[in-house]
């Protein structure tokens, strides 16, 4: 079983459209949507949720007012002004340091685990999908990404699937590191702009740091031939294989609106290009 992550360094390069297309082309795969802050792979895969679980992360103080003697120590100690006048706790301000809980002479403050999101196991027309939703303003998306990856791998092993195809997190922070670690290949999807090259370079450096094999695809390459050429030159200089150049195609938007992946959509001129990219991924993965 091989693990492939599709990443971009930033949003809006066509990463999720590419992940959907590869999910349609791969036979016997499990998908993982690791873009947990703004998950949208489900829009293409139309999952039918089979399992729903709470994601717990971090703790918040909670006062049992029936035990509180009103000594005021917690209010004096809290550096985040999270203790209200009646000694209840404001959960938004509480940073979960537990100082008040240790200090309370009445033992009235308990630290409670936060429910900061949900994760799901679903059926799709291409195979199982593990996906998640992080609560608004919640943190620890790296931990949730790691959980989604772990579950997808477990299902793939149980089903004897050939591939885990991962829609990676954007950026270069903790979530993308959790998306990348231990995969067999990272496919970087970029666009022919200076910022596209800059963002791709940053995420490629992260992937290389973790020893991940990287290949690259230039999406909408014909919108700027000069910049596409510079990205190809960058690839040559950095030992990265550029395994595909996808032309701009307005029908991709129509496909997305209809909830279809590129291989399923009749009338798109990039179907063959995407199939060739999938063939090259299979040929190059170690």
Residues making contact with ligand SF4 (CB under 6 A): 61, 63, 68-74, 77-78, 80, 82-83, 87, 89, 94-100, 104, 106, 108-109
Number of helices followed by number of strands (H, E) in the chain: 10, 9
How far apart are CB 241 and ligand SF4 at their closest, in Å? 49
How far apart are CB 85 and ligand SF4 at their closest, in Å? 10
Q: Which is nearer to ligand SF4, 99 or 234 (CB)?
A: 99
Distance CA 2, CA 279 (A): 14
Residues comprising the chain, all counted: 286
Structure-token pair, residue 218: 């230039």
Q: Which is nearer to ligand SF4, 91 or 259 (CB)?
A: 91
Greatest alpha-carbon span in the chain: 73
Secondary structure, 3-state, 63-77: ECCCCCCCCCHHHHH
Among all chains, which residue has been given the structure tokens 């919108």?
223
Q: How far apart are the first and last CA of the chain?
A: 11
Q: Which is nearer to ligand SF4, 93 or 254 (CB)?
A: 93
Q: Which is nearer to ligand SF4, 75 or 208 (CB)?
A: 75
Q: Which residues pair with 61 in a beta bridge?
A: 111
Rg (the chain; Cα; Å) = 23
Would you state the torsion angle of the CA atoms of residues 223, 228, 230, 233, taken in this order, to the nearest 10 degrees? Answer: -170
How far apart are CB 106 and ligand SF4 at their closest, in Å? 4
How far apart are CB 103 and ligand SF4 at their closest, in Å? 6
Q: Which is nearer to ligand SF4, 68 or 214 (CB)?
A: 68
How far apart are CB 57 and ligand SF4 at their closest, in Å? 15
Evaluate whether 32 touches 150 at the Cβ level (below 8 Å).
Answer: no
Q: Which is nearer to ligand SF4, 80 or 248 (CB)?
A: 80
How far apart are CB 138 and ligand SF4 at their closest, in Å? 16
Residue 18 neighbours by CB under 8 Å, 6+ apart: 6, 187, 189, 217, 219, 274
How far apart are CB 139 and ligand SF4 at their closest, in Å? 14
Distance CA 153, CA 150 (A): 5
Q: Which residues pair with 29 in a beta bridge?
A: 163
Q: Which is nearer to ligand SF4, 40 or 90 (CB)?
A: 90
């Amino acid at each position: 079983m091989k693990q492939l992550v599709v990443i971009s360094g930033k949003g809006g390069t066509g990463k999720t459209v590419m992940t959907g297309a590869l999910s349609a082309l791969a036979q016997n795969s499990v998908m993982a949507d690791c873009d947990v802050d703004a998950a949208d792979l489900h829009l293409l895969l139309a999952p039918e949720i089979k399992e729903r679980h709470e994601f717990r992360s971090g703790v918040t103080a909670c006062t049992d007012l029936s035990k509180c003697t009103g000594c005021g120590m917690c209010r004096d100690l809290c550096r985040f002004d999270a203790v209200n006048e009646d000694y209840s706790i404001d959960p938004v301000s509480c940073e979960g340091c537990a100082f008040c809980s240790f200090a309370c002479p009445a033992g009235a403050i308990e630290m409670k685990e936060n429910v900061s999101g949900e994760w799901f196991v679903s059926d799709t027309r291409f195979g199982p999908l593990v996906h998640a939703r992080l609560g608004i303003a919640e943190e620890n998306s790296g931990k949730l990404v790691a959980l989604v990856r772990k579950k997808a791998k477990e299902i793939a092993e149980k089903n004897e699937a050939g591939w885990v195809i991962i829609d990676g997190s954007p950026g270069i922070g903790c979530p993308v590191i959790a998306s990348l670690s231990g995969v067999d290949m990272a496919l970087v999807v970029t666009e022919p702009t200076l910022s596209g090259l800059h963002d791709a370079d940053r995420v490629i450096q992260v992937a290389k740091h973790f020893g991940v094999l990287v290949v690259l695809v230039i999406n909408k390459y014909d919108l700027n031939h000069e910049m596409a050429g510079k990205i190809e030159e960058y690839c040559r200089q950095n030992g990265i294989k550029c395994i595909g150049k996808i032309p701009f195609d307005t029908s991709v938007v129509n496909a997305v609106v209809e909830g279809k992946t590129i291989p399923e959509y009749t009338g798109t001129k990039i179907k063959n290009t995407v199939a060739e990219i999938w063939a090259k991924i299979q040929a190059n993965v170690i």
